[in-house]
């Protein structure tokens, strides 16, 4: 595709204070996963506390909802108050939760990663375990924060992929191995979400939206990490890219 017809994929940002000034930021790994593993170009969507979805969605060929150090404020899923040291980003919540639902309703392809995956569960009426390691029935899903980043994002455990879903169609196999860099996870699955993969402890690691008009996949792990070096991660982005290219072709006709 020429630059004139290049597909455009929105990438959600987070709020962070850097020195005296607030910034909207996106990790390089998310932007590079689009630039390197798709035929599209990333466009940052700021989390300003609101989003004119009706205006921007017709201009986008897909949206990547990113992971983040912050967690969704638990009042969005009727959860108990967070621990005092929990990092939140209320402007991101106010931006991405309505945007995600609107994007799927409009048929914009969506790939939701980690926090984005949790956002998708919440907007469909699901809830979250805020501290998986305190529940007692789950393996350790947190990274070792003292380890080098290559170890933190290295392969951690296998997942069982359900047949007949987007993930199985993309990968063509029942098993894959993924990293595990999260403290929270699905408690109650959202209404209308189809489980796509499970961790060995039964935790939902991926799901899709059953009645979505287009590609709508959420994954708890981080396939953007060195995506070109991991065939499974690349397969996810290839499937996402295919849906985005199809939308781009329709949009530019």
pLDDT digits (tens, 9 = 90+) for 120-178: 999 999 999 999 999 988 999 999 999 999 999 999 999 999 999 999 999 999 999 99
Q: Is 129 a catalytic residue?
A: no
For the cut 90, the answer to whether the pLDDT of residue 4 exceeds it is no
Average pLDDT, the chain: 96
Q: What pLDDT was estimated at residue 137? A: 87
Q: What pLDDT was estimated at residue 1? A: 46
**Active-site residue, selected from the candidate residues 114, 129, 182, 196:** 114
Place of tokens 């070096």: 229
**Cα distances (Å, whole numbers) of residue 43 to 7, 61, 73, 166:** 10, 11, 26, 25
Q: What pLDDT was estimated at residue 251? A: 85
Over residues 228-240, the pLDDT tens digits come to 999 999 999 999 9
Closest CA to 8 of 52, 47, 53, 38: 38
**Active-site residue, selected from the candidate residues 129, 205, 224, 244:** 224
Q: 41 forms bridges with which residues in the sheet?
A: 8
Give the residue-averaged pLDDT of 10-24.
Answer: 98
Note the pTM of the prediction, 2 decimals.
Answer: 0.97
Q: Is 21 a catalytic residue?
A: no
Q: 43 forms bridges with which residues in the sheet?
A: 10
Q: Is 73 a catalytic residue?
A: no
């Amino acid at each position: 595709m020429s630059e004139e017809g290049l597909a455009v994929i929105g990438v959600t940002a987070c709020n962070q204070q850097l020195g005296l000034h607030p910034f909207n930021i996106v990790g390089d790994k998310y932007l590079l996963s689009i630039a390197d593993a798709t035929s599209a170009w990333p466009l940052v969507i700021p989390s300003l506390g609101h989003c004119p979805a009706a205006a921007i969605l017709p201009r986008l060929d897909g949206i990547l909802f990113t992971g983040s150090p912050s967690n969704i404020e638990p009042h969005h899923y009727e959860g108990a108050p967070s621990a005092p040291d929990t990092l939140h980003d209320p402007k991101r919540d106010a931006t991405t939760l309505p945007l995600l639902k609107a994007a799927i309703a409009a048929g914009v392809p969506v790939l939701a990663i980690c926090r984005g995956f949790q956002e998708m569960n919440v907007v469909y009426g699901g809830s979250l375990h805020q501290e998986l390691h305190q529940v007692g029935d789950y393996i350790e899903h947190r990274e070792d924060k003292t380890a080098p980043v290559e170890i933190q994002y290295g392969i951690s455990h296998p997942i069982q992929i359900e047949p007949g879903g987007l993930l199985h169609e993309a990968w063509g196999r029942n098993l894959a191995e993924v990293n595990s860099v999260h403290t929270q996870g699905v408690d109650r699955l959202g209404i209308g979400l189809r489980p796509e993969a499970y961790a060995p402890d039964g935790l939902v690691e991926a799901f899709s939206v059953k009645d979505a008009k287009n590609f709508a996949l959420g994954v708890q792990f981080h396939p953007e990490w060195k995506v070109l070096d991991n065939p499974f991660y690349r397969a996810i982005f290839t499937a996402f890219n295919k849906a985005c290219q199809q939308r781009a072709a329709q949009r530019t006709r």
